[in-house]
A and B are shown apart, each in its own frame.
Chain A
Amino acid sequence: MKKAINLSVNGVPHTDEVEPRMLLVHYLRDVLSLTGTHVGCETSLCGACTVMLDGQAVKSCTVFAVQADGSQVTTIEGFAKNGELHPVQEGFWEKHGLQCGYCTPGMIVTAAQLLDRNAAPSREEICHGLEGNLCRCTGYQHIIEAVQYAAKKAGQS
């Protein structure tokens, strides 16, 4: 039996009827066509599906859509505002923090939360903060530099 949910995604309100077992990531991708959030492992180990749920970075492959009822969700598509990149997005571009780009949306969401909590993280704190997100291409060094760039940039503004 389907259940009605009301939630806001990237500031836009949505009302839908979904199966209780539908995963949040499938709701975002298949129902709302927000395909920037990716599925990499279905077991919450790779972090490709990370989105913001009420201000917390969560792995949307292990959250049911019904659990997001009444919530505010921000996906990667909601990060650039009025055509201006989020500092973390800018950092990834400047520092070559991505290659194939598949892990990138989840990485950016996680990195943004990391900087929300700690505006000037050390290298070790960045590495620890990114432990829940896998990247197979970059070897992480440029991702770490991207986060450092974003921290510096946000600190200046």
Chain B
Amino acid sequence: MTNKYVGRRVKRTEDPRLIRGLAHYVDDISLPGTLHVAFVRSYYAHAKINSIDTSAAESAPGVVAVYTGKDVAEKIGPVPCAGALPDLKVPDHRVLATSKVYFVGHPVAAVVASDRYTARDAADLIVVDYEELPVVTDVEQAAAGGPVIHDAFSDNIAYRLTSGEGDIDAAFAAADRTVKQRVLHKRLAPIAMEPRGVLARYFPGEEELTLWSSTQIPHLMRTQVALMIGIAENKLRVITPEVGGGFGSKLNVYAEEALLGWISMQLGKPVKWIETRRENIQATIHGRGQVGDIEIAFKNDGTLTGLRYTVFADLGAYHQLLTPAIPTLTGLMLSGAYKIPAIQMNITACFTNKMATDAYRGAGRPEATYIVERGLDLVAAELGADPAEVRRKNFPAPSEFPFHTATGLDYDSGDYEAALNKAQQIAGYSELREMQKKGREEGRLIGIGVSTYVEICALGPSQAMPAGGWESATVRIEPTGKVTILTGASPHGQGQETSFAQIAADELGVNINDVTVIHGDTGVVQYGIGTFGSRATAVGGTAVFVAIQKLKEKAHKIATHILNADASRVTFEGGKYSLQAAKAASAAGTSEPVVPVGEAPAGALPEPDTEGKSSLTMQEIALEAHVAKNLPPDTEPGLSATYFFEPKNFTFPFGTHIAVVEVDRETGDIKFLRYVAVDDCGRVINPMLVDGQVHGGIVQSIGQAMYEEVVYDESGQLVTGTLMDYAVPRASHIPEFELDRTETPTPVNPLGVKGVGEAGTIGSTPAIVGAIVDALAPFGVRHLDMPIKPENVWRIINGH
């Protein structure tokens, strides 16, 4: 079938409402009589709560209710953690602090009032008597016997885990050479532009609760919140209206979401809470947070023989949904794009008096890529070899796929050298090295960084996931010929309203404008898993694709019956089922709905007009299926199909990023001269959307490499509590990206799609750091920790 939409730069169907300011995010929904919630949050990192005086707040005009930990501790279950690891310590984390607070931002009380100003004022009238306790913010101190945060445990070690395959000790014993480096992955704040928010409305008569929440996982949230607040799951409806970015920070179930639902049930009124940015940096999950040592064993010719990573993972004060699982994802990807016969990861994961860490774009995999790629740069430096050549030497060949790694994975497909070659060619790699050499002679500090990454996507097989790794889709053709897709994925900026419509329009031969994609409403959409881990298109899009094939089987049966033909003689082409394929070669997508809007007779469907025809459009068949007067025997009326797609493996996108920077000797300022990225995310549905994902990912990498870090001081105060202190990249910070692709389809799903949501963030950081380190190589620099700021650079150049 020729594609009219798939593979093309189709403009997004989401955009008209968004560019006109007509879309609805949670805070844009107003219900009559809505009450507003403000939180009192701890300003200590660790303290005992002696007493809470809420009297002044309760008597303030406009205040409807005040709740503290003791009011809700027995009523609302703990904030859930889905991570399952041997001997994992799981603190009892309640939605409001009970006897102790253990991080700055920990919610202590909730005030419900007539409007948000009144709620905020009243929250400031609540007096909490705290008794400060010793604080531990450094993860290694937490591991080594610092103050114990949770009374239920004897230490701060949440778990220890060793993973990997191969004889690691033998690899190091037999190595020609080894390198070792300590690396920091500082905490990052995801900073979705729309902060979190919840609107809860309880219908006392129907005993039903609706939660509008800015989340990536509406169905998982429904299950978890129902369990937390004790409402039947099928009496709780979660709706995600427009969601203003997530990046993993909304792949979670937070205290506020359950509490707002419970409060609405208590008061019988709608209640709303919209997170402030200050709350967002304090009490929405952080990403990264690892301190580790890389050790690599290798031969004199550059062949890698072993890799060991010994890491302290900073989990924060308690577990959010996937907190303990994130460092284990790092362990999975430690083979990178290379043949490494022995790999070992040793994790010591610890509680600290800080917000929980969890999934932030990449979720454990950027750490792995950074470790491996920085490690390869160190190997190259040790050997005096070109970093690109050390990489090339260790790639598995395309014929070696499926490629088994010593971390226990089987990579699906890849041609790593092709991506490297293409990127080098676009960048003019050897000319760049010449330019660098000449530049150095003139005193210029130019650096070139190369990253040849592989990532793990399309999460994932259910065996590897805590709550199912499949995705669902229902595709139906309405009596008027309009196509409706219900997806269990929950896009929040990725554009699947468009890309899924592209798939459906091509497969069904209809105009893309006749396709509507519905997502993010548990009252309408069958159960789904959600959008994270670069899974929505690879897993959710496949569910759409397979559901369409099921639907077409039925349509074919109906067509065969109506055309009164032998099944083998009826073919589908150009949007039509025809007796003779050649005769029906009209262009796909030109078919009009059989019933123009406004012309259907009231109370009845029109008579199908299919008699004597030699071909039938999908829409004509849909109408026949609904009026059900001329269907083959044993055929259900209606035209819809549902499919739950279970992938057999993850997918493994890959690529090469090359960054070129120049460092200013006078100021330490770092400027990009070039940025080339060749990514391979398998088959591409919409290249424009893929470019957008890559751009956005790279810029989050630039943030991590050069600007961003969540800083707590020794007393556990959050120093970077606003966007004044937490530096998110701005337009003037970015280079002009030069993107290209190779396309290696995955055998894991019939679309051949691998996923691209996190590629930029995973692949880019080591290229940028590698480039800056390379620029400073004349000063003997082999590694620098992120974020690399002009001050660090200036100090190196000036010997301070």
By a beta-carbon cutoff of 8 Å, the part of chain A in contact with chain B is 19, 21-22, 26, 29-30, 33-43, 45-46, 48, 75-77, 79-80, 85, 89, 92-94, 96, 98-105, 108, 123-124, 126-128, 130-131, 133-144
Contact = CB atoms under 8 A, between A and B. Distances in A.
Contacts of B699: 138-140
Interface string B421-443: 00000000000000000000000
B692 interface: yes
21 contacts: A34-B21, A35-B25, A38-B193, A41-B722, A46-B723, A48-B193, A77-B22, A96-B689, A100-B243, A100-B244, A100-B492, A101-B14, A103-B193, A123-B736, A130-B732, A131-B731, A134-B730, A137-B493, A139-B698, A140-B699, A142-B692
A93 B724 contact: no
A104 B18 contact: yes
Nearest to A21: B117
Q: Which of A36, A41, A104 has the most CB of B within 10 A?
A: A41
B195 A85 contact: no
A77 B18 CA distance: 10
Contact of A93 (B16, B492, B734): B16
B696 A89 contact: no
Main secondary structure of the interface of B (DSSP, over half): loop
Q: Which of B25, B195, B723, B737 has the most CB of A within 10 A?
A: B723
Nearest to B19: A89
A140 B695 contact: yes
B461 interface: no
B73 to A, nearest CB: 31
Interface in B1-19: 11-12, 14-16, 18-19
A134 B193 CA distance: 8
Nearest to B688: A96
B495 interface: yes
B192 A136 contact: yes
Contact of B244 (A21, A35, A94, A102): A102
Contacts of B245: 99-100, 102, 136-137
A141 B494 CA distance: 16
Which 7 pairs from chain A and chain B are nearest by CB? A36-B21, A102-B244, A100-B493, A139-B695, A101-B18, A76-B21, A139-B699
B742 interface: no
Contact of A98 (B19, B30, B731): B19
Contacts of B11: 93-94, 96
Contacts of B12: 93, 96
A77 B243 CA distance: 19
A127 B732 CA distance: 5
B454 interface: no
A101 B27 CA distance: 14
B448 to A, nearest CB: 21
B142 to A, nearest CB: 30
A102 B194 contact: yes
Chain A CB within 10 Å, residue with most, of B22, B28, B244, B495: B244
B343 interface: no
B217 interface: no
Interface residues of B, number: 59
Given A40-B193, A76-B19, A139-B694, 14 more contacts: A22-B117, A29-B27, A38-B194, A77-B22, A85-B19, A99-B245, A100-B193, A100-B245, A102-B194, A127-B731, A127-B732, A131-B732, A136-B191, A137-B696
A34 B20 CA distance: 11
Nearest to B361: A136
Contacts of B736: 123, 141
Nearest to B702: A139
A110 B84 CA distance: 47
Given A41-B722, A93-B16, A100-B492, A140 B734 contact: yes
A58 to B, nearest CB: 16
Contacts of B691: 96, 142
Interface in B719-734: 722-724, 728-732, 734
B737 A141 contact: yes
Given A96-B692, A136-B245, A136-B247, A101 B23 contact: yes
Pick the most buried of A45, A79, A133: most chain B CB atoms within 10 A of its CB. A45
B277 A101 contact: no
A38 B698 CA distance: 25
Contacts of A131: 730-732
B24 interface: yes
Nearest to B722: A43
A59 to B, nearest CB: 12
Nearest to A128: B732
A21 B494 CA distance: 38
Given A134-B728, A136-B728, A140-B699, A92 B15 contact: yes
A117 to B, nearest CB: 16
Contacts of B697: 139
Contacts of B320: none
A49 B351 CA distance: 37
B242 interface: yes
Interface string B223-265: 0000000000000000000111101000000000000000000
